[in-house]
Amino acid sequence: MPKPIADKRREFRALHERGCFVIPNPWNAGSAKYLAGMGFKALATTSAGFAHSQGFSDGAMTLTAMLDHARELAEATSLPVNVDFENGFAHEPDKVAENVRLCVDTGIAGLSIEDYRNDGTENLYDFDLAVARVKAARAAIDKSGSDVLLTGRAEGFLHGKPDLDDAIKRLKAFSDAGADCLYVPGIKTREQIEAVVKAVSPKPVNFLNAMPLGFTVKDLDAMGVRRISIGGTLSRVAMTAFIKAAREIAEKGSFEGFAGTLPNAELNKFFDEFKP
């Protein structure tokens, strides 16, 4: 019997109250099930991983496609799912609110709203509009009567504005506007991480560890990070292996890239025995 959505949302919120957890990012139902089988406690979508799996660049997916994907992952396992909802697929706060309501209805446990415009430029939303958009998302969640956890994202470090003071200013405002969790993707140093954690305390902080930075989960826990996401990195690991093996066939006529792959029998056994 599927786990009630309310239970997933309650569990997800509880994960943010103490300790530190990793929230890996599957890009389809199969990868979601495998991660659930490894014992992770929650999952998150990856806009990049999903887009690439569909043959598009990050940020090019439609609202309808993203909602279908969110529902697919929410139904794939009994784990709570957080959605990278990008910019809410809209610029104006009222439209963001409308789209957030649609996302909540897919059965997810959390979603994020970012301040990157995603309009073909590297521009962020002006401060006041960025805050209004988070406030609109909060109001939409509250109106739905759900307990969906809202993450506010300051995207400057990924889009040509690596200004920590500005990012923290935005995070504080997002917190005041109703964000439950705060996130600055792109920060990499201990000093940056600890500054963000201190600035928004006691609200939990998500840290993106999408490359080898020398930190362990224990290290990040000691810095005060509550949630560790990995973005599209696992999907890129899979795509890298695929491209490498295919390139050896195309360029060398060699099939040596198949060495070390999991046998079909092992994968079939896992999925046959998987219990959501």
pLDDT at 238: 98
Single pTM value for the model: 0.96
Residue ranges per structural domain of the chain: 5-236
CB burial string 113-151: b at 16+ within 10 A, e below: bbbbbbeeeeebbeeeebbbbbbbbbbbbeeeebbbbbb
pLDDT per residue as tens digits for the range 34-62: 999 999 999 999 999 999 999 999 999 99
| pLDDT score for 91 | 98
CATH fold of the domain at 5-236: TIM Barrel (3.20.20)
Would you say residue 190 has pLDDT above 90?
Answer: yes
**pLDDT at res. 1:** 72
Other CB atoms within 10 Å distance of the CB of residue 158: 18
How many Cα atoms within 13 Å fall on the side-chain side of residue 51? Answer: 16
**Which pLDDT does position 181 carry in this prediction?**
99
Mean pLDDT of the chain: 98
* pLDDT tens per residue, range 220-258: 999 999 999 999 999 999 999 999 999 999 999 999 999
> pLDDT tens-digit profile of 84-111?
999 999 999 999 999 999 999 999 999 9
Q: Which of 114, 203, 178, 109 is nearest to 149 (CA)?
A: 109
CB 166 within 8 A of CB 186: no
pLDDT of res. 262: 95
